[in-house]
């Protein structure tokens, strides 16, 4: 019989050694991380490493984030079961699945059609029916479905994109890495009526958010970079 990894055991160890041993304390987040089969979102050649303490390649020069960062960002969103979430940067769909466990509905936007299609199929195969994956420039958000109780951006932005701020519901939270292409600070934004407050969490390193309110895409060099439209908070 071929050697089979015990993914459930590896996942339990990930929760204890990488999450609980650090500062992930929200029982709902820990339970969601226990339930979602991370290996199903990792491309075959890296599957045996799915529960390691780091990011892994998923194609198109993109990565599935480290489990701890997924848990930390999810915890920072303070989700309730009624929340509607906007996720920017679907990638493999793993973070989407974690959000699906904790919120009512997740709208997720991905720039690369191949990643969006694969993520969508994985989510469907695993029985997650409370998510929709769209292809597009997430730096502009998804205004048609706004407002959102929570917004999570899993790629690094040069500034907090104005459209995302505008699409937050009153009382909403947004978690987003903000900085340059090589290092960022994870920020949590809260909206109360027409006031947005920003809290800095930890230093992080994400792939760039490309787009109209992000960094200039390498494959669209002619695109006008109008970051200046985004007033800094
Ligand atoms: N959360 C993902 C997961 O669990 O696999 C990992 C996300 S990966 C770190 C960042 C993703 O953001 C990449 O898939 C990248 O293609 C996407 N991205 C970058 N700029 C984007 C944009 N403007 N709109 C939508 N997605 C974007």
Quick: pLDDT tens for 155-196: 999 999 999 999 999 999 999 999 999 999 999 999 999 999
Residues 6+ apart with CB under 8 A from 143: 163, 167
Does 111 sit in the ligand 1 pocket, CB within 6 Å? yes
Ligand 1: atom nearest CA of 60 is 16
Does 154 sit in the ligand 1 pocket, CB within 6 Å? yes
Q: Does 94 fall in a domain?
A: yes
Note the pLDDT of residue 71: 98
Evaluate if residue 224 carries a pLDDT over 80: no
Integer CA distances (angstroms), 158 to 11, 60, 147, 218, in order: 34, 21, 23, 15
Q: In this structure, are residues 143 and 167 in contact, taking their beta carbons and an 8 Å threshold?
A: yes
Q: What is the DSSP string of 43-80?
A: -GGGGGGTTSSS-EEEETTEEEPPHHHHHHHHHHTT--
pLDDT band at 230 (very low <50, low <70, confident <90, very high): low
Does 74 sit in the ligand 1 pocket, CB within 6 Å? no
Evaluate if residue 217 carries a pLDDT over 90: no
Q: Does 229 fall in a domain?
A: no
Domain with 22 in it: 7-216
Note the pLDDT of residue 212: 96
pLDDT (tens digit per residue) in 20-52 = 999 999 999 999 999 999 999 999 999 999 999
Note the pLDDT of residue 222: 53
Evaluate if residue 226 carries a pLDDT over 50: no
Q: What is the distance in A from the centroid of ligand 1 to the CA of 37? A: 20
Q: Does 230 fall in a domain?
A: no
Q: Does 82 fall in a domain?
A: yes
Ligand 1: atom nearest CA of 115 is 14
Identify the helix (H) or strand (E) that includes residue 107. Answer: strand 105-110
Evaluate if residue 70 carries a pLDDT over 70: yes
Evaluate if residue 137 carries a pLDDT over 80: yes
Q: In this structure, are residues 27 and 15 in contact, taking their beta carbons and an 8 Å threshold?
A: no
Does 92 sit in the ligand 1 pocket, CB within 6 Å? yes
Q: What is the CATH number of the domain that holds 142?
A: 3.40.50.150
- 92 as an active site residue: the answer is no
Please give the tally of structural domains in the chain: 1
């Amino acid at each position: 019989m071929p050697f089979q990894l015990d993914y459930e055991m590896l996942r339990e160890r990930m929760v204890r050694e990488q999450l609980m041993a650090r500062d992930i304390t929200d029982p709902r987040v820990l339970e969601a991380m226990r339930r979602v089969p991370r290996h199903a979102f990792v491309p075959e050649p890296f599957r045996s490493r799915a529960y390691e303490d780091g990011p892994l390649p998923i194609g198109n020069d993109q990565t599935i984030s480290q489990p701890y960062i997924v848990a930390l960002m999810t915890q920072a969103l303070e989700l309730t079961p009624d929340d509607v979430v906007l996720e920017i940067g679907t990638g493999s769909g793993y973070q989407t699945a974690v959000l699906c466990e904790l919120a009512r509905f997740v709208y997720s936007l991905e720039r690369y059609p191949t990643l969006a299609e694969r993520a969508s199929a994985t989510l469907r195969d695993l029985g997650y029916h409370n998510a929709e994956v769209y292809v597009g420039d997430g730096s502009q958000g998804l205004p048609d479905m706004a407002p959102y109780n929570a917004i999570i951006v899993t790629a690094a932005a040069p500034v907090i994109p104005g459209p995302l701020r505008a699409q937050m519901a009153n009382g909403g939270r947004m978690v987003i890495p903000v900085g340059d292409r090589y290092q960022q600070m994870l920020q949590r934004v809260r909206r109360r009526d027409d006031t947005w407050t920003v809290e800095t969490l930890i230093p992080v390193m994400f792939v760039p958010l490309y787009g109209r309110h992000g960094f200039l895409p390498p494959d669209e060099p002619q695109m006008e970079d109008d970051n200046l439209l985004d007033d800094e908070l």
